[in-house]
A and B are shown apart, each in its own frame.
Chain A
């Protein structure tokens, strides 16, 4: 028997749902791998099953560590990745699609239901896509794969519904019949049942994930503390914030991508403006930092001095400018200090550029570095101390909100 257009479209929807399921599975796997608080590579390819990406900072990692990749972060360490809900939803859409594709007499209402609910993931995809454009400025291939699958699924489901309607209309004209169609009450019950199935399917993987999560409470705040809490020269930099309620000490490098991500995370979560921030510049550049035998971020010393020269209201703006233009500034830093100084003069004026060259500024930066040395902190950035307690590196990304909820709930908006 010739297959109807509606069923063919349903098959396409099934294929999209299965592919979306695979993308969501890889995304979920990458997220769950991080639960051991170690460093893992992540998948980042349009080809399902392709090996993990070898480059350290790829868009999928950026998306994964962004505040938008999971829900309920303050309740559970790392939160619940949204890909888990996608995983369950795609399962439902695949199963329902199979039903529509195989059934010769699936009702128009069931096609209508499928087409309607299939747009819900598209709404989620549009929101996440907008976040990628506006906030993350990167496109994670796995995420894009999921977005496309939701779109194809929704379009195919809608086409299937339309085809089914047309076919039924044609059939009704030529050979009208009731086909034992369910009553409106029965149909309503069926829709409720399908919705319940969609809900259960969407939530079940997330429920299993939450139920099995390790208890992170014993690990929080066990990563050391400051030995020397004050800098004798009073040279550390206070960053003004809107509603500071808890003192925090941040060790930052203007050219460190993780610092940028960390800063943006704090700002995006609404946490930064509730912190009483003292900033310690800790550039990973051997030009000023004797703790390195080679520069990880050439030019970071010059930019750190620029931030120090902005003491008062300007420091935060300069720090955020360095983060916003990090890639360009990193390239200039590789060319030489003079290129960076010219760029700083162009953006912030010649007074600030002159300040960078003053011996007092060099001494001030040196005092920051000695503060780090006196405290024997790990040579890495960023680092966050809540009071004198060091927040573990793992708790500054995925576990940030959970950790703050445990140690300093007043900083959460």
Chain B
């Protein structure tokens, strides 16, 4: 298509007034210019406004974002956390590279509470933890004990610390029971080390051995999950044990 196609005639038609195309051109240009200027101005306003909000953010409108952390559940009362903190400090889990555990005398000193109150602190852990039972005068974990221990270890979720509280029944001497409960605590620890090969284990597991002289368990603890649920539970049997549990508290 080209304009030359219709420039072929010889007789001339009267040409329209040049004022109209010029006016149309002016109107068209004005429309285009106004739209471009409106667009540019509105862009400038929007960007400037965003810049202002960026430099002066409206802080009340900003929503606080939760921060990832260890679990903290309802049983983490101030009293519970106080004892826990003392255990962690005294038993070497906090502030030192080496875990060393706690002896009955230490526990008596740092817990500063009587036997029943000490045991009551652990009541909320009934379903979270378990009682690993041992034979009389033995620190050997049986298969049921190992299985339950590994099961509980794998149920960590958000907990930071795993507690092992070993005891002995009152059958033998105080010194002997102290040593026996220490061995039972170590049996648990060594099995976890062997089974999990976890390099962080020493910083997670806190062990206490109470011998037979502090915080003996009553027969009511026979109702807690234990590794010999098919066997008779006596007051002596429930204390030939190591109570294990993850603790869902932040410290």
Contacts and interface: CB of A to CB of B under 8 A. Distances in A.
Nearest to A210: B47
B48 interface: yes
B3 A107 contact: yes
A293 to B, nearest CB: 10
Given A169-B5, A171-B13, A87 B33 contact: no
B12 A178 contact: yes
Given A36-B50, A233-B198, A99 B28 contact: yes
B20 interface: yes
Contacts of A35: 47, 50-51, 54
A131 B16 CA distance: 48
A56 interface: no
B13 A87 contact: no
Interface in A191-230: 197, 201, 204-205, 208-209, 212-214
Contacts of B51: 35-36, 212-214
Contacts of A99: 24-25, 27-29
A283 B112 CA distance: 42
Contacts of B6: 108, 168-169, 171-172, 176
Contacts of B3: 107-109, 168, 181, 187
Interface residues of B, number: 60
Contacts of A376: 67-69
A362 to B, nearest CB: 6
B74 interface: no
A96 B28 contact: yes
B47 A212 contact: yes
B78 interface: no
Contact of B71 (A161, A178, A290): A290
Contact of B66 (A107, A179, A187, A379): A379
B165 to A, nearest CB: 23
Interface string B46-78: 111011011101000010011111110000000
B11 A373 contact: no
Contact of B40 (A109, A205, A380): A205
Contact of B43 (A84, A92, A96, A107): A84
B16 A105 contact: yes
A34 B40 CA distance: 18
B55 A214 contact: yes
Nearest to A375: B68
A379 B12 CA distance: 82
A209 B21 contact: no
A208 B1 contact: no
Interface string A165-188: 100110110011111110000010
Q: Which interface residue of A90, A108, A212, A213 has the most chain B CB atoms within 10 A?
A: A212
A199 B102 CA distance: 81
Contacts of A94: 31-32, 35
B120 interface: no
B213 to A, nearest CB: 36
B24 A176 contact: no
Interface in A353-380: 359, 362-363, 366, 369-370, 372-373, 375-380
Interface string A364-404: 00100110110111111000000000000000000000000
Interface stretch (A24-32, A122-130, A303-311, A331-339): A24-32
A195 B2 CA distance: 19
Contact of B32 (A95, A107, A112): A95
Contacts of A32: 43, 46-47, 50
A178 B46 CA distance: 50
Contacts of B231: none
Interface stretch (B124-132, B154-162, B216-224): B154-162
B9 A100 contact: no
A52 interface: no
B157 A205 contact: no
B200 interface: yes
A21 B37 CA distance: 13
Given A99-B25, A201-B32, A359-B150, 15 more contacts: A21-B35, A29-B46, A91-B39, A95-B30, A98-B24, A112-B1, A171-B13, A172-B7, A177-B15, A201-B36, A288-B157, A291-B68, A363-B154, A376-B68, A379-B66
* 6 pairs of A and B residues whose beta carbons are closest in the complex: A176-B9, A95-B32, A99-B28, A172-B6, A290-B158, A91-B35
Interface of A: 21, 25, 28-29, 32-38, 84, 87-88, 90-92, 94-109, 112, 161, 165, 168-169, 171-172, 175-181, 187, 197, 201, 204-205, 208-209, 212-214, 232-233, 288, 290-291, 359, 362-363, 366, 369-370, 372-373, 375-380
18 contacts: A32-B46, A33-B46, A87-B43, A95-B32, A103-B28, A104-B21, A104-B24, A109-B2, A168-B5, A172-B7, A175-B13, A201-B36, A205-B43, A208-B43, A209-B43, A213-B51, A376-B67, A379-B65
